Amino acid sequence: MKKSDYLTNTIEHFDIKSHNVINLVDSMEKMAFSARDLNRAAQIYDEMLKDKDTTIILTLAGSIFSAGLKKIVFDLIENNMVDVIVSTGALMIDQDFFEALGFKHYIGSQYADDNELRELHIDRIYDTFIDEDELRICDDTTAAIFDSLEPRPYSSRELLWHFGKYLEENGGPKTDDSVIYSAYKNNVPIFVPAFSDCSAGFGIVMHQTKYPDKHVSFDSGKDFLELTKIKLESKETGIFMVSGGVPKNFTQDIVVAADILRENVPMHKYAIQITVADVRDGALSSSTLREASSWGKVETTFEQMVYSEATLALPLIAGYAYHKRNWENRERHNFTKIFL
C-alpha cells in the first residue's frame, strides 16, 4: 500500500452546537453508576458557569484533539465557558497548532502493520494516523518562532501567545477552529507546564543548538507563579479536568502555592474530572478529588469523578452546559494585567 492509501479519511471534530443533549443528560440523573455521575458532573459544570465569582480552569491531557474533541474546546473558549487552560504540549502543538498549519489527522486502525507505517513515515495513535513528514514541518515552525523572539526565559503562556500571533499573521482560514488562535484572540491564557514534551521540544533543541549562547528558554517556575497569581486574583475557582497527568496536579497545586503567599486562600470550590485511570494503583491521574481535599486543594461539596473515556463524556458534559446557555450571563475574564 502507498502512503496515500492510509491517509485518506480525516478525523472530524465533534460540534456541540449541533447536538442538544440536555434531555439525554437529564435522563441520566435517575439512572445509576457512571450515567448518574456524568449527569452530576454536567450539573456542576453548569453551576460553575452560573457562579459569576468563579474562574474556570480547564485541564487537558491524553490524545483527545487527534480523536475529534478539538472543536469542543474551541467552542468553550469562543462562548466564554472557560477562563484558563492547562494542557499537555502534545495537544496544543502536535495536534492543535499542527492542524492550524493546514495538516490533518486521519482515521486509521489499531491493527495496521506498524513496521509498514514506519517505512511510510506514518505515526499511529491507536486508531488514528498522522503524517510524520508534516509533523517535522510543525517542528521546524516552532523553531522558527523561537528564532524570531528576544532571547530570554519565557513562560509557556507567553510563548503560546506568540504561537497565536504567528497564526494570526500566517494562518488564514486554517485557524478557524484552532484552540491556540481562539485563546489568543479572547485573552484566555494557556499553560503547558511540560512544554519540552512535544513538537515545541524539538523546536527548542534546534533553536538552542543554533544559538548556544543567547537563546529562548522555558521557565516552568514562571508558569507556576503566573497560574498562582490567577488563583490569587480569583474569588473562587472551578476546575474541569479531562484526563489527568501534569496539568491536573499543576492546577491543583496552585491552591497550596497561593496559600503560602497569602494565608486562608480558598480551595477550588468546584471540581470535575473525566478519567479511565484506576484509583487503586495510587497514580496521580486516578487520584480522586476527595483525596485532593486532604491536601487542601479541592472542596468536596461540588466535586465529581466521571470514570469514562473522554470522547464519550466530554461531548455530553460540555454539550449540556452549552445548551443550558448560562454562559451567556458571564463576564469574560482578562488576566492580562497581572502578567505585566
- Encode pLDDT of 19-57 as tens digits: 999 999 999 999 999 999 999 999 999 999 999 999 999
b (16+ CB within 10 A) / e for 179-196 = bbbbbbebebbbbbbbbe
Residues with Cβ within 8 Å of residue 168, at least 6 apart in sequence: 175, 181, 184, 185
pLDDT at 37: 98
Q: Which residues of the chain have pLDDT under 50?
A: none
Give percent of the chain with pLDDT exceeding 70.
100
Evaluate whether 235 touches 134 at the Cβ level (below 8 Å).
Answer: no
Per-residue pLDDT reduced to its tens digit, 106-150? 999 999 999 999 999 999 999 999 999 999 999 999 999 999 999
pLDDT at 97: 97
User: Model-level pTM greater than 0.75?
Assistant: yes
C-alpha cell at 328: 451567556
- The whole-angstrom separation of Cα 218 and Cα 223 is 9
**Residue showing cell 516552532:** 142
- The whole-angstrom separation of Cα 315 and Cα 309 is 11
pLDDT at 337: 87
DSSP labels, 105-121: -EE--TTS-HHHHHHTT
Strands across the sheet with 190-191, in order? 190-191, 84-87, 54-60, 236-242, 268-275, 298-307
125 burial type by CB count under 10 A (0-12 exposed, 13-18 middle, 19+ buried): middle
**Residue showing cell 494562518:** 171
pLDDT at 288: 82
pLDDT at 330: 96
C-alpha cell at 113: 502493520
For the question of residue 214 being annotated catalytic, the response is no
pLDDT at 289: 77
**Which of 2, 297, 324, 337 is labelled catalytic?**
297
Residues with Cβ within 8 Å of residue 74, at least 6 apart in sequence: 177, 178, 179, 182
The dihedral region occupied by 146, where left means phi > 0, alpha psi between -120 and 50, and beta the remainder, is alpha
